[in-house]
Amino acid sequence: MFKDNRTSSKKGIHIGIIPDGNRRFARRGNRDVWEGHLQGAKKTEEFLDWCTEYPEIKRVSIYALSTENLKRSKEELDDLWKIYTEQLRKVSTDPLIKEKGIQIRVLGDTALWRPDLKDVAKEVVKSTKHYSKYILNIMLAYGSKLEINNAVKKVVGKPLYSVDKFLMVKEPLDLVIRTGGQHRLSNFMLYQASYAELYFTDTLWPEFTKKEFDKIMRWYRDQEKKFGR
C-alpha cells in the first residue's frame, strides 16, 4: 500500500511547471528557435520571483529538459545546453539566491549532461545546499518513467511505500501548471503528481504573466482536496 506523503500546509506548497511554447513563440515572431528558449529562461527567472511573493509556496520543480527532448536536432540541443549552463552560472553568483535562501537542486540523468553543465551544476548545488527557505528543482534530461524505474530497482525486498525514499524528488506536488495549450504531463513527475491539481493554459511560456499566475493561485486555493476520501 502506498503512503500519502503529500506536502502538508506547514511545509508549504510544491508547484511543478511544464514550461511549453518556447519554440512556437520564436517561430511566430520569425525568430531563431534559440531565442525562444532564451526568452523562456528569462521567464523562469521572473516566475521564481513571483513565487517568493507567496509565503505558502516553498518548493518549485521546473521541467527544463525531458529525456524525450534529447531527440531534437544537434543544433537545438547545443543551444539548449549552452543556455542552461549560462543560466546556472548566472544563478551561482546571483545575490538574490542568498537573500531569499533558495536551495537549488539540479536533477536528471547526469550521464546525459554535457561536461561543462555538470561542473556548473555541481557548484550551484554545493553553494546553495545550506539554504532552506525555498527549494528549486531544475529537471534536466529528466523523465518520470526513468526515475520510477530506478527507484523500483532499489526498493526490491523493501516495503513498496519506501519507493519515495529513492526518488529524485521526494516531496509530492500540490499544483502542476503547463503552458502552451497541451493537456498532458509528458512524463513529468508522474508519481509526485498523483494527487496534484492540474492547470493547463494556452499561453506560451515566454508570454506567461504574473496576472495569470495570480489567477491560477486563486483557482488553486478554491480547490477541495480530498485525496481519494
Our count of domains for the chain comes to 1
CATH of the domain at 186: 3.40.1180.10
Classify residue 6: in a domain, yes or no.
no
Tell me: the pLDDT tens digits for 137-164? 999 999 999 999 999 888 887 766 678 8
pTM for this one? 0.91
Classify residue 38: in a domain, yes or no.
yes
Q: Domain range for residue 165?
A: 13-221
pLDDT at 170 over 90: yes
Classify residue 160: in a domain, yes or no.
yes
Among 20, 79, 164, 174, the active-site one is: 20
20 an active-site residue? yes
Q: What string of H, E and C letters represents the secondary structure of 109-177?
A: CHHHCCHHHHHHHHHHHHHHCCCCCEEEEEEEEECHHHHHHHHHHHHCCCCHHHHHHHCCCCCCCCEEE
pLDDT at 92 over 80: no
> Across all residues in the chain, what is the average pLDDT?
91
Classify residue 175: in a domain, yes or no.
yes
Q: Any idea which residue has 491539481 for its cell?
A: 197
CA distances from 4 to 55, 90, 150 (A): 24, 37, 20
Among 30, 49, 69, 149, the active-site one is: 69
pLDDT tier for residue 30 given thresholds of 50, 70 and 90? very high
Classify residue 168: in a domain, yes or no.
yes
202 an active-site residue? no
